[in-house]
Amino acid sequence: MPKFEYAPAPESRAIVTIEKSYGLFIDGAFTRPKATFPTINPADETVLAEVSQAGPKDVDKAVAAARRAYEGVWGRMSGAERGKYLFRIARILQERAREFAVLETLDNGKPIKETRDVDVPVAAAHFFYHAGWADKLEYAGLSASGADVPRPHGVVGQVIPWNFPLLMLAWKIAPALATGNTVVLKPAETTPLSALLFAEVCQQADLPAGVVNIITGDGRTGQALVEHPDVDKIAFTGSTDVGKAIARSIAGTAKKATLELGGKAANIVFDDAPIDQAVEGIISGIFFNQGQVCCAGSRLLVQENVHDQVVAKLKRRLETLRVGDPMDKNSDLGAINSKAQLDRITALVEAGVAEGAERWSPECTLPAKGYWFPPTVLTGVSQTHRVATEEIFGPVLSVLTFRTPQEAVAKANNTAYGLSAGVWTEKGSRILWMADQLRAGVVWANTFNRFDPTSPFGGYKESGYGREGGRHGLEAYVTTAPSTLTG
């Protein structure tokens, strides 16, 4: 029998202190909360805290603080000194890992085993990795002549989504600080708490005031930050629609931008693949974080002659997954992040069924409170169906078939996006050929959803531009024009 249960574990919530209300973190200190909005636990709809809605004047103050820090202490600091702050932040994240894991799970709805084993340790790893670069930038191959030290842009405005709140913050702040920039960051409206706890970490690490500023709010706050005339560079992760609006709004200005946007990844299974291993990869590919992952393997392309076998094994395995209280260490799937996201998933799945797909979910009783969607497999999907073309961002797998490797490539590339892809096969030569043919920023072979700070991540086409992570990720945060100063 499938085990679907909801058993809140309130005692584990004592691990982290959540304030009743939060101000903004500007110039090294928290402001007094004024206009606030609630942030809720999507697993049970209880209010966790009130957070401040930053208006244009707050954005001005945060940008001014970042400018002062850039032109003052941070801009004059050596890379070696900056690196020490990044190391310190990384260590504090490790020391406070349980607090961050619990807070992230409460605010986001994702299972505690994911925040504990992925979000928090990988966030710390990003700070460790970038700490190492801070005093070696001239060796990163970034400058035009190879002889100049790459220079920071100045004040960076960063806007992040709700699916990996702490991890996206780390992907943004660590390279910005390592390269000598200062930051104003806006977390997503539905998941602001881990960014506010991170502000405490900055204080604990004695990071100079104004180097990192955290302003909470909705899309209007993001827009005010992006359009602020004293912001030199924008780093945005979020939907393709908002990414396009940002690109339009900064067109014609001197602002630099990197846009990490949506995806519709193909996870491609050939008949010679180790099927049991592939089934595990398909599951982690689409059900990790309830499928609310930009690089989720949301389109399964399976070779026609193994389709029935793969789908049967997949369904059997899905019946063993546990959907329930995200705070329970045994839960495999947690809650959907918001009512709006749940409505979007529901509407797209209904559209898929109306267009002819067959819908299947394991037997399950979902909690009455909170935002929940069962793991869902859609078979008989064709390339024109909305569930094959649009990003669902939920625990929904669309299954398509192919006969030849050429057909697999054509179908995988038949998308407006180009963020990631997966290939499951025994043949090394086929992996290399597929990796070359697939228009995706990341191609995983016989695995899926592997993240490492040393490895650049980013997309082609409507998945955006710029890379995060690795040496390539530093490029976005520096100007590499040769210096005109002569000594």
Encoded one letter per residue, x for contact with ligand TAP by CB under 6 A and - for no contact, window 157-196 reads: --xxxxx----------------------x-xx-------
Q: How far is the CB of 167 from ligand TAP (least distance, A)?
A: 9
Q: How far is the CB of 465 from ligand TAP (least distance, A)?
A: 10
* Joined tokens for residue 391: 């990003």
Q: Decide if 350 is catalytic.
A: no
Could you give the CA distance from residue 158 to residue 279 in angstroms, rounded to a whole number? 37
DSSP assignments along 3-68, one per residue:
-------GGGGGGS---SEE--EETTEEPPP-SEEEEE-TTT--EEEEEE---HHHHHHHHHHHHH
Catalytic residue among 294, 390, 391, 462: 294
Pick 123 or 137: Cβ nearer ligand TAP: 123
Q: How far is the CB of 445 from ligand TAP (least distance, A)?
A: 20
Name residue, tokens 């999907």: 381
Residues from 231 through 250 that contact ligand TAP (CB under 6 A): 237-239, 242, 245-246
Q: What residue number has its CB nearest to ligand TAP?
A: 222
Residue from 332, 391, 462, 475 touching ligand TAP (CB under 6 A): that is: 391
Could you give the CA distance from residue 441 to residue 457 in angstroms, rounded to a whole number? 7
Pick 189 or 232: Cβ nearer ligand TAP: 189
Catalytic residue among 99, 114, 260, 468: 260
Pick 8 or 165: Cβ nearer ligand TAP: 165
Cα 121 from chain centroid?
14
Pick 28 or 238: Cβ nearer ligand TAP: 238
DSSP code of 486?
A: -
Consecutive H or E run containing 237: strand 233-237
Q: Decide if 358 is catalytic.
A: no
Could you give the CA distance from residue 290 to residue 334 in angstroms, rounded to a whole number? 7
Pick 116 or 461: Cβ nearer ligand TAP: 461
Pick 161 or 352: Cβ nearer ligand TAP: 161
Residue from 99, 260, 328, 332 touching ligand TAP (CB under 6 A): that is: 260
The answer to whether residue 473 forms part of the interface with ligand TAP (CB under 6 A) is: no
Pick 362 or 441: Cβ nearer ligand TAP: 441
The answer to whether residue 42 forms part of the interface with ligand TAP (CB under 6 A) is: no
Residue from 108, 223, 398, 425 touching ligand TAP (CB under 6 A): that is: 223
DSSP assignments along 384-445, one per residue:
TSHHHHS---SSEEEEEEESSHHHHHHHHH-SS--SEEEEE-S-HHHHHHHHHH---SEEEE
Pick 84 or 339: Cβ nearer ligand TAP: 339
Q: How far is the CB of 33 from ligand TAP (least distance, A)?
A: 17
3-class DSSP state for residue 377? strand
Q: How far is the CB of 158 from ligand TAP (least distance, A)?
A: 10
3-class DSSP state for residue 362? coil
The answer to whether residue 335 forms part of the interface with ligand TAP (CB under 6 A) is: no
Q: Which amino acid is at 409?
A: V
Size of site (CB under 6 A) for ligand TAP: 30
The answer to whether residue 226 forms part of the interface with ligand TAP (CB under 6 A) is: yes
Angle made by CA atoms 384, 387, 388, in degrees to the nearest 5? 50
Helical axes 165-178 vs 79-95, angle rounded to 10°: 160
Residue 485, CA distances (Å) to 105, 181, 475, 481, 482 in order: 50, 21, 22, 12, 9
Encoded one letter per residue, x for contact with ligand TAP by CB under 6 A and - for no contact, window 292-331 reads: --x-------------------------------------
**CA-based nearest residue to 191, from 325, 331, 341, 366:** 341
Q: How far is the CB of 293 from ligand TAP (least distance, A)?
A: 7
* Joined tokens for residue 192: 């602001």
Q: How far is the CB of 273 from ligand TAP (least distance, A)?
A: 26
Residues from 396 through 435 that contact ligand TAP (CB under 6 A): 419
**CA-based nearest residue to 472, from 64, 45, 130:** 130
Could you give the CA distance from residue 447 to residue 453 in angstroms, rounded to a whole number? 17
The answer to whether residue 114 forms part of the interface with ligand TAP (CB under 6 A) is: no
Pick 226 or 335: Cβ nearer ligand TAP: 226
User: Which residues face 47 on adjacent strands?
Assistant: 40
The answer to whether residue 462 forms part of the interface with ligand TAP (CB under 6 A) is: no
**CA-based nearest residue to 74, from 85, 62, 82:** 82
Q: How far is the CB of 93 from ligand TAP (least distance, A)?
A: 19
Q: How far is the CB of 149 from ligand TAP (least distance, A)?
A: 28
Catalytic residue ranges: 260, 294
Interface with ligand TAP by CB under 6 A: which residues?
Answer: 159-163, 186, 188-189, 218-219, 222-223, 226, 237-239, 242, 245-246, 260-263, 294, 391, 393, 419, 459, 463-464
